Amino acid sequence: MEPLQWWGSVALTALELLATAAFALSGIIEAARKRMDVVGVCVVAFLTAFGGGTLRDLLLDQRPFFWVREQYALAGVFLLCLAALLFMRRRHVAITERMIEWPDAIGLGLFCASGVHQAHLLGMPPMVSIMMGVVTAVFGGVLRDMICNEIPATLRNHRPYAVCAFAGTLAYLLLAALEAPAWVAMSACVAVATTLRALAMLRHWSLPAWKI
């Protein structure tokens, strides 16, 4: 492998681990809010970090799951849970929540790019590819809220989150239709989704309220 390529792949893996950790931490915090025990913290963290990608692989019938191929991610989330149980105190929660906003936005972009790319490679029609991108990015959080007995926040807080993933998948499909190489289309998807999410956070954008 060329040195540049090697550095690129190291950077990508580092970003992916960071994003997975951010997703897992948001699960840990939610489990802490519900006063769950060690089992609950681990289950919710795993579900949040791997739920979206697993649902995508299940729907697209792709095996082995990515967490079977990349076991270090499983081990990493497990260690993160143990660390949180040992060291996390109430006063850390708000700080952690603010700190994970940015890696979470990166995760939104990466996860949605991986979903739309995988569906597109399998020859899925555009509407299905879009759906797979969005599902990969948001269903970890949806499953987290469902197991914590809440209406999923992303379905009703009027903050752009799934919508950013949606825009990212459109960018991917547009570039793929123009026969751009895969890495260009995926980078554009990540850039669009993450930038929109970052702008939405910085400018406090909100989705139009429904007149009902």
**How many residues bind a copy of itself, per CB under 8 A?**
58
Q: Which amino acid is at 130?
A: I
Question: Does the protein bind a copy of itself through residue 131 (CB under 8 A)?
Answer: yes
Q: Does residue number 157 form part of the binding site for a copy of itself (CB under 8 A)?
A: yes
Select 88 or 199, whichever has its Cβ closest to a copy of itself. Answer: 88
Instruction: Give residues with Cβ within 8 angstroms of 78, minimum separation 6.
Output: 42
d(CA 207, CA 157): 9
Question: Distance between CA atoms of 196 and 77, rounded to whole angstroms?
Answer: 27
Query: 65 exposed, middle or buried (CB, 10 Å; 0-12, 13-18, 19+)?
Result: middle
End-to-end Cα separation, the chain, in angstroms: 57
Assess 207 for contact with a copy of itself (CB under 8 A). Answer: yes
| Contact window for a copy of itself (CB under 8 A) among 2-10, 97-105, 160-168, 183-191 | 160-168
Verify binding: residue 95, a copy of itself, rule CB under 8 A.
Answer: no
Q: Tokens 């580092």 correspond to what residue?
A: 14
Using CB under 8 A as the binding rule, whether residue 209 contacts a copy of itself is answered as yes
SS3 of 150, please? coil
Is 40 a binder of a copy of itself (CB under 8 A)? Answer: yes
Give the span between the Cα atoms of 103 and 86, in whole angstroms.
Answer: 23
Of residues 1, 95, 127, 202, which one binds a copy of itself by CB under 8 A? 127
Q: How far is the CB of 29 from a copy of itself (least distance, A)?
A: 10
- 205 is a contact residue toward a copy of itself (CB under 8 A): no
Closer to a copy of itself by CB, 155 or 177: give it. Answer: 155
Give dist(CA 128, CA 186) in Å, integer. 17
Token pair in block for residue 203? 């400018």
Chain contacts with a copy of itself (rule: CB under 8 A): 31-32, 34-41, 43-44, 46, 54, 58-59, 61, 63, 65, 67-68, 71, 74-75, 78, 85, 88-90, 93, 124-125, 127-128, 131, 138, 142, 146-152, 154-158, 161-163, 207-212
